[in-house]
Structure 1
Amino acid sequence: MKPIQNKSPSFISPVCNKRAFLLIFLFIMQNITLSLALRSIDHPGNATDHAALLVIKSQLKVPSNWVLSSWNDSIHHCSWEGVKCGRKHKRVTVLDLSSRGLAGTISPFIGNLSFLKILNLYNNSLYGEIPTQLGHLIRLNELQLYNNTLVGEIPANISRCVNLRVFYLANNKLEGKLPTGLGALSKLTHFRVQINHLKGSLFDIIQNLTSLVKIYAYENSFTGTIPNSINRMQNLTRLGVGGNELSGRLPTSFFNLSSLQYLDFDENQLHGELPADVGVNIPQLTWLNLEHNNFTGLVPITIQNLTALEAIGLGYNNFIGNVPFYVGNFHKLNYLSLGGNFLEGILPKSVANLSTSLQVLDIRNTQISGKIPEGITNLNNLELLWMYNCKLTGFIPQDFGKLYKLELLHLESNNLKGKIPNSMANLSYLSEFYLDDNKLEGSIPPNLRNCQSLLYLNLSHNELNGTLDNELFDGSARFVELDLSSNYLEGSLPLEMGKQNNLVLLGLDNNKFSGIIPDSLGDCSDLQHLFMDGNSFQGNIPSSFASLASLQEIDFSRNNLSGPIPAFFSKFPILYYLNLSYNDFEGSVPTNLVFANASAVFVAGNNRLCGGIKQLHLPKCIEKKSSGKKKRIMSHALKLIIPIVGALFGMVAIASGLYLACLKKKKSPLSSDSMMGIVTMKVSYDMLLKATDGFSSENLLGMGSFGSVFKGILDGKAVAVKVLNLQHRCASKSFMAECNTLRNVRHRNLIGIITACSSIDFQRNDFRALVYEFMPNGSLDRWLHGVDGNMSLAQRVDLAIDVAHAISYLHHECETPIVHCDLKPSNILLDNDMVAHVGDFGLARFLTQPRHPNQSSTIGIKGTVGYAAPGNNRVIPIYI
């Protein structure tokens, strides 16, 4: 037997040797890499960048935890999200945090990234001022901060960024003048500052920047003239400066910019005639917009040379002469505006030869005459057609329905005749249809009901006749404004008209309508303007009209209406015009609200009216005296009734005391001191802006379907400011509903509204807001679901009783019952004492009594779609 020998390394296989070597090599390289990474941070320059980035992050608010989650010490900052470094020195050269949903401010430490070439922070929600330290970034090529809410002036020392090529600050809230030093940025090629509040001279600053390719400065307040030296900008391809206050003439040299493709001078104060050779030296021009200026003279014939044009905007100037005969020669055109000039003559048939890509055709407010060319219906991509206030004659083409993409059709104030074509029913995208002030005849096509997008229909001041078909109001169309006034329409109004519950304006005046006013009109709860004068309506004003508290104007004059003037008219909060003259109304005239203003209410020609304010000059009302026998009967009745009622009140008082004692409630009675309605406090947009620190995100309490709620300090008192988002089509409706409801209710367990604000903000958009009592303990929803804390069963019972009090008040104690329509925990707010207040009345409705015994409510399904209380929480049922 051989002795056992020890194994030596020479017996290890070659494969094992290679694996061991590879593992050792990887271990060494990993340590070397880590060492180099740590050393790179220790390098003075990299340490500066690293520290600057951390400070920048500290001043940003991220929408969720994963955004910028890589910005920590576990990896080198050159590998952080949105950060790129140079290969040689590992210094930060790119910081791109665009479209990350970031809020907060831009840190001054941005200036410490001295090797930065590209800074992209666009399309976020950044606020505050642009830090002056940006001027330290002398290597910067791109600066993109557009689509934020930055304020203040553009830093003057931005002129130190001599390598800047791209300068995008558009769509912010910047103000003041452009820094004069911008004119030294000779490498600048792209300049965008549109949609801000900038002012002062524009071209005096940038006229020497001959490298500029694109200039967008529209929607500001720039002034000054266009200098002759602009012809040095031979690289310029796009110039958009509309919506400013530029003045003077266009220099002849301007039209030598042969590279120009896009030109927009819309909405300025330019004047003078256009050069005759305007279309000779700019053959690449695709967009020409000179609208809303004061240009005069003839439209130059050389414009026909610009065959690449996709848009021609010459409207709203003072051009004269005939309609250019060559308008049909542009086969790429998608926009043509000639309206608002002194052009005349017949609309050329060649219009029908325009590109089928044409989307907008505008010849309104001109002296253009003749017939509408039959071939116009070939332009089947038309979306907006404005031909009103001209001298057009003849018939509307029968196949107008071929323009199936039409959204707006305005043919009013012409001399058109004949019938409304039935093919109009094919226009399923049509939202505005105006044919008023023509000579149209025949009946209204009932198939207009198929225009499912139709909101505005005006057929007034024509010669239409016949009755209104039920089908017109029983289809897809949901009118906001319906004006049929000054025609020869007759018969009674269809009951189906009440289904048009989006109506804001209804004009039926000066026709031959008869019969009673249908009760169903009371379902049009958004109605603000109602004109039914000059007809033969009879009977009483329906009691269902009590729910039309949004009415501002009412005209029932020159009819055969009778009965008393409804008392509810004297409670409509925003009614400012009421004409009941020349009917057969009787009884006393109220004296409050609209009836207190003799210039707002008209009752002449009603010989049986009495009372009212002195200025109406009506006889005093005579009170009817009861006979002695009736007095004795009443006296005996009172002797029996009073003890019975007293006993009942005593029993109710005892039962109420026992009930409250059992609940151990320590709340104060519902005194008027604890009830809050609308305070007549005038609040402006600027006051709310200051109170909420510019509607800053730090003061944002929450966001809902129709707007956002901010905390503010108004006159030293904490308030909640609800700002309506008017881009939402139902926001205005919600605003009116909440105002109307809270004007009529006062109760301790309802949210208190301090005032309502409706004005125009600095961007010329509608602004509407409501100011409420501030509820420091937030919503019930947050307490129930553990965000703010847990609640005991006793607390839940207390809050349920609070809510029950509020709902009972709305349903049973208001003069007109009110249905909240959106009762849920997030709409129940808690004050300092944890008392519940029901809020958010944006969907609330006044509930009139059913008109028939078997009739159900027409409010419909409203509120939060799909809402149900979470199943993992106890729900305390409330029975009222």
Structure 2
Amino acid sequence: MAWHAAPVGVIYGLSQEDKEFLASETASLLLWSPTLTTNHTDHLALLAIKSSIIHDSQHVLDSWNTSSHFCQWQGVTCGRRHPRVTILNLASRGFAGSVSPHIGNLSFLRVLNLQDNTFKGVIPPQLGNLFRLQQLNLDNNSFEGEVPASLSNCTRLNIFRLGTNNLIGKLPQELSALVNLVELVIHKNGFTGGIPSFFGNFTSLKKLSATRNSLGGSIPHTLGQLYHLQFIGFGSNNLYGTIPGSLYNLTSLKVLGVENNSISGSLPKDIGLELPNLEYFQIWGNKFTGNIPFSFSNCSNLSKLDLANNSFTGKINIDFRNLPNLWYVGLHFNSLGSSEPDEMSFIDSMVNCSKLKQLQFDINQLTGVLPSSIGNLSSQLRILTFSGNFIYGTLPSGIGNLVKLEQLFINYNQLSGIVPSEVGNLQNLKYLYMNYNFFTGNFPKFIGNLPLLLELSLANNRLEGHIPPNLGKCKGLLGLDLSVNNLTGPIPVELFQLSSLSITLNLSQNYLVGPLPPEIEKLKSLQELDLSHNGLVGPIPNAISGCTSLEYLNLGANSFQGQIPSSMSALRGINDLNLSSNNFSGQIPKFLEKLNLSSLDLSFNNLDGEVPLEGIFKNVSFISIQGNYGLCGGFHELRLPKCAQVSNTSSGTSRVILIVISICSFLVVAMVLSSLIYWKRKKPQPAPEVTYVQALSRVSYGSILRATNEFSQQNLIGTGAFSDVYKGILEPGDGVVAIKVLKLGNQGALKSFMVECEALKNIRHRNLVKIITSCSSVDFQGNDFKALIYEFMPNGNLERWLHPSSEQEVVIGEALPQRLTLHQRVTVATNVAHAMHYLHQECEVPIIHCDLKPSNILLDSDMVAQVSDFGLAKFLPLKPHESISTGLRGTIGYAPPEYGLGGEMTKEGDIYSFGILLLEMITGKKPTDDIFHEGLNLHDYVMIALPHRLMEIIEPTLLSTIEEEMEGANVNHEDEARQWERLEESMILLAKVGLACSLEFPKGRMNSSKIIQELHHINGLF
């Protein structure tokens, strides 16, 4: 039969060189083999494919030239009987470019493999011409656009792989014709439109992988027809609904993965009998509920069981003895636990699982003692986590047998006793978290012998003794947290020489002493340094300028002295700086204006001079400078005295003036003191309470009567057991004040008045209500009258913002306020936390408030929160008669459980009240809400919802406020999804803080420093 050559150059994209090559090749083919009638088409198609490849890192295409027949070219395989291309395998060759549409002319092609390259552009529709194609592999490229419907013509396809590309759109219905498929892989793309029900037509299918798309919808029940299916993966696809019961009939199934979706329902009790061949079962990150079926014990081939991040409850009762291949168990972030005596016995049955590498049980409700059998677990174990449970007792010494362990997380439990020395055997340990327990004894020195340690936290325990210098041997240490213990002595200089530290060094709330050594300059990569609440002394060394990566620095509540060094101007990345409650002197450095600070606390030092006006000092709500009585100037909101004008006269004249002023001041003070002594001797000594009250008297009863319009109902802004609060104007031009009038007829009112006076005269903080003066007089009928006069808070109290329909609004008669936004709520919580921290840690005499609740939190004109009502407050240390409460102190719902049992009043009691307050701000539920009965309380209500159902219990008006903000911002759907994801992250973190504060056991509650740190982090997410 005659053969006619196609005109040279008709293939689009050929270079001049290729055209010349084709011309000579065509001539030679005509002379050399007149019997080959169609292989010239393959030749031209291959050259077109070559011309579309723009990068060939391995020089594969160098062989595609005239020196050999195309059947000998690299990656090309021809049939035995005819020189036609049957296989084109260009996988993993480092190619870049596009795929020529002329590939559709390789009509004898049975296998096309282009995986692991960088091909771009669309998938050529001409591939649909390859009706003999059996395998198509385009995995791991950069193909884009939609899948061409023409591929439905390739009805012989049994392997179809499009994974890890940039493909989008809905899978075309025409693909239902590919009934011979055995393997379908479309994962890691952007496919939408739901899982096609026609997948159920692929009855020969063994593998279906569609993870990490955006398919949406529910899993179609038609997949239950795929009786040969061994692998099914639909993870990360925005799926909802339940797993169809038909899928549990697929007895050949080895891998089932639907992780990271919103699938709900419970697992069938007989799942292990219905799917006996399971090897991988992965459903983490969904909304599954109910118990974990015991029948998993029947899956003898099971190697990975991942049920994390769901809402499973009850006892872990799988018999792991029959699962010899198991290497991964992930049950973390559920609500597992039964409080039965043998709660932890499941560990005993894991001893036979010799391949175990990873066990995770974090954030559940497991209760009990860790059994000694934990030391008999697989020697291959790499990761073991039990954090966030209610495990008590000692840590078994057998833990030291797990010599390949790299991560050990047992934090946030109730473990006690000493840290067993056998932990020093874990030479491969990289992450050790034992914080928030009750470990005692001296600091475990053997931890310094763990050479690979990257992160170590022993915070919030009861450890004593010195920090061992051998921690300096951990040369790779990135983060170290030893805060809130009873550690003593100086900080080992070896810690400051750990240049590897880059995450955090937190030694706060211990009893450490001594100066900061100049070796601190070695911490060049450190982001967070917290040495607050210790006994450190001396100046800040200039070497701190070397800590150029610092973002958070807290040196508060120590005994540092001297000036704030100018070398700190080198800390260009600093965000939060706290130097409060020290002995720093001199002026506030001007360089602080230039730092990119979001929080600055210089309170309670000996600073003097003019307050700067630029940088962070422009926003007074982000700075704290009270307690520095030599400061002047600054913005009006700081209410500091004006700075004296500096004269231009000579320094000698100025010095004379200063001497004269000093002498005059001394004489005035001497005269005043002499007068006071004289009158004190002359007058009879009244009772202490009366003396104190009279000393505060500034305003008469008549003035208050006029200011409140004779205590009119229109001026009433609050009422309580011991007092009524009115707004009024004492004198024209003085502005509005709040006047708290005591109900002296009520038992305890006078004592409350005295306590509040005593507390408020000694405290100054931007988040604590400010007393202007007091009144102790008699009314016009001769009755005792006492009142306290405060700054007026125009935005009322937090109660009326959280619950504007309460009876309080009817009493006060004010307009209902708008609802607080989430950002405002976090800010208010942060304000309250700062106030609480000040009362507990920074007052000269620590104070327990004893009644933190929304009605005692006032909001000024800028919505800055201020804690009020100190009528129940107690000073530490408590007096002997105060150590045990005679009744419930505080308010029901907010008072900690130990107070109701006659327990000692402690700082942890305020922490509990704060935690309940925070949960109330999130959920909109009061702790006394009618839904809380039969043992359920606000703490448990939130705990049960974490993490995946938390958004279901958030106050609806809060969510609607957020939706309105997003609508007003005109964000697109993609940005909106990211914002909701960030929102949910923030809400979970807030809930965790509230839960950590409101734990039943006082010693397990989060401390105020950590609360502030967490809230600032959450605020940063906005």
Indicate whether the TM-score tops 0.5. yes
Change (3 A) 1:223 1:48: farther
**The 10-residue stretch of structure 1 (264-273 or 134-143) with the greater mean CA deviation from structure 2:** 134-143
Aligned to 2:569: 546
| TM superposition shift of 1:157 | 2.4
Aligned with residue 260 of structure 1, among 269, 278, 283: 278
Change (3 A) 1:407 1:536: same
| TM superposition shift of 1:479 | 3.6
Amino acid at match of 2:309: H
**The 10-residue stretch of structure 1 (85-94 or 554-563) with the greater mean CA deviation from structure 2:** 85-94
| TM superposition shift of 1:111 | 2.1
Aligned to 1:354: 377
Aligned with residue 511 of structure 1, among 524, 534, 546: 534
Aligned to 1:272: 290
Change (3 A) 1:334 1:72: same
**Superposed counterparts of 1:34-433, under 5 Å:** 34=29, 42-43=37-38, 61-62=54-55, 64=57, 66-70=59-63, 78-88=71-81, 90=84, 91-255=108-272, 256-280=274-298, 282-321=299-338, 322-325=343-346, 326-329=348-351, 330-433=353-456
Change (3 A) 1:629 1:294: closer
Distance in 1 (CA, whole Å) between partners of 2:316 and 2:337 is 8
2:641 pairs with 1:624: no
Amino acid at match of 1:626: N
**Superposed counterparts of 1:698-847, under 5 Å:** none
2:627 pairs with 1:605: yes
Q: Counterpart of 2:168 in 1: which secondary structure?
A: strand
**The 10-residue stretch of structure 1 (617-626 or 96-105) with the greater mean CA deviation from structure 2:** 96-105
Amino acid at match of 1:188: L
| TM superposition shift of 1:381 | 0.8
Aligned to 2:519: 496
| TM superposition shift of 1:317 | 1.5
CA contact (8 A) 2:242 2:263 kept: yes
| TM superposition shift of 1:114 | 2.4
Q: Counterpart of 2:239 in 1: which secondary structure?
A: strand
Q: Counterpart of 1:229 in 2: which secondary structure?
A: helix
Amino acid at match of 1:317: N
Aligned to 1:522: 545
Amino acid at match of 2:526: L
Amino acid at match of 2:218: S
Change (3 A) 1:246 1:84: farther
Distance in 1 (CA, whole Å) between partners of 2:493 and 2:395 is 32
CA contact (8 A) 1:60 1:103 kept: no
Distance in 2 (CA, whole Å) between partners of 1:32 and 1:344 is 85
Amino acid at match of 2:237: N
Q: Counterpart of 2:608 in 1: which secondary structure?
A: strand
Q: Counterpart of 2:59 in 1: which secondary structure?
A: coil
| TM superposition shift of 1:285 | 1.5
**The 10-residue stretch of structure 1 (548-557 or 139-148) with the greater mean CA deviation from structure 2:** 139-148
| TM superposition shift of 1:131 | 3.0
Distance in 1 (CA, whole Å) between partners of 2:457 and 2:566 is 33
Distance in 1 (CA, whole Å) between partners of 2:418 and 2:450 is 18
| TM superposition shift of 1:181 | 1.9
Distance in 1 (CA, whole Å) between partners of 2:198 and 2:271 is 24
| TM superposition shift of 1:425 | 2.3
2:640 pairs with 1:596: no
Number of corresponding residues: 606
CA contact (8 A) 1:384 1:408 kept: yes
Q: Counterpart of 1:62 in 2: which secondary structure?
A: strand
Distance in 1 (CA, whole Å) between partners of 2:63 and 2:978 is 40
Distance in 1 (CA, whole Å) between partners of 2:584 and 2:130 is 80
| TM superposition shift of 1:186 | 1.2
CA contact (8 A) 2:460 2:484 kept: yes
Q: Which runs of no fewer than 5 residues in structure 1 stay unpaired?
A: 1-29, 632-758, 767-880
Distance in 2 (CA, whole Å) between partners of 1:41 and 1:247 is 62
Change (3 A) 1:34 1:402: farther
Q: Counterpart of 1:627 in 2: which secondary structure?
A: coil
Aligned to 1:473: 496
Q: Counterpart of 1:482 in 2: which secondary structure?
A: strand
Aligned to 2:852: none
Q: Which runs of no fewer than 5 residues in structure 2 stay unpaired?
A: 1-24, 85-107, 654-974, 983-1022
CA contact (8 A) 1:86 1:92 kept: no
CA contact (8 A) 2:320 2:349 kept: no
Distance in 1 (CA, whole Å) between partners of 2:646 and 2:449 is 62
In the TM superposition, what whole-angstrom CA distance separates every residue of 1:664-723 from its partner, at most 9, and x where no partner exists? xxxxxxxxxxxxxxxxxxxxxxxxxxxxxxxxxxxxxxxxxxxxxxxxxxxxxxxxxxxx
| TM superposition shift of 1:392 | 0.5
CA contact (8 A) 2:520 2:546 kept: no
Aligned to 1:576: 598
Distance in 2 (CA, whole Å) between partners of 1:238 and 1:195 is 16
Change (3 A) 1:623 1:313: same
CA contact (8 A) 1:134 1:158 kept: yes
| TM superposition shift of 1:122 | 2.1
Distance in 2 (CA, whole Å) between partners of 1:269 and 1:375 is 36
Q: CA RMSD in A?
A: 3.0
**The 10-residue stretch of structure 1 (50-59 or 417-426) with the greater mean CA deviation from structure 2:** 50-59
Aligned to 1:727: none
Change (3 A) 1:129 1:83: farther
TM-score of the pair, normalised by structure 1: 0.65
Identity %: 38
Change (3 A) 1:37 1:333: farther
**The 10-residue stretch of structure 1 (387-396 or 233-242) with the greater mean CA deviation from structure 2:** 233-242
Q: Counterpart of 1:599 in 2: which secondary structure?
A: helix
In the TM superposition, what whole-angstrom CA distance separates every residue of 1:860-880 from its partner, at most 9, and x where no partner exists? xxxxxxxxxxxxxxxxxxxxx
2:479 pairs with 1:456: yes
Distance in 2 (CA, whole Å) between partners of 1:152 and 1:763 is 24
| TM superposition shift of 1:37 | 8.8
Q: Counterpart of 2:215 in 1: which secondary structure?
A: strand
Aligned to 1:858: none
Aligned to 1:676: none
Distance in 2 (CA, whole Å) between partners of 1:340 and 1:376 is 21
CA contact (8 A) 1:52 1:109 kept: no
Amino acid at match of 2:128: G
Aligned to 1:672: none
2:632 pairs with 1:585: no
Q: Counterpart of 2:140 in 1: which secondary structure?
A: coil
| TM superposition shift of 1:500 | 0.6
Amino acid at match of 2:432: L
Q: Counterpart of 1:498 in 2: which secondary structure?
A: helix
| TM superposition shift of 1:385 | 0.9
Change (3 A) 1:38 1:173: farther
CA contact (8 A) 2:453 2:476 kept: yes
| TM superposition shift of 1:106 | 2.6
Change (3 A) 1:485 1:437: same
Distance in 2 (CA, whole Å) between partners of 1:36 and 1:245 is 67
Change (3 A) 1:235 1:35: farther
CA contact (8 A) 1:541 1:566 kept: yes
| TM superposition shift of 1:36 | 10
Distance in 2 (CA, whole Å) between partners of 1:225 and 1:502 is 48
Distance in 2 (CA, whole Å) between partners of 1:116 and 1:764 is 45
Distance in 2 (CA, whole Å) between partners of 1:60 and 1:612 is 67
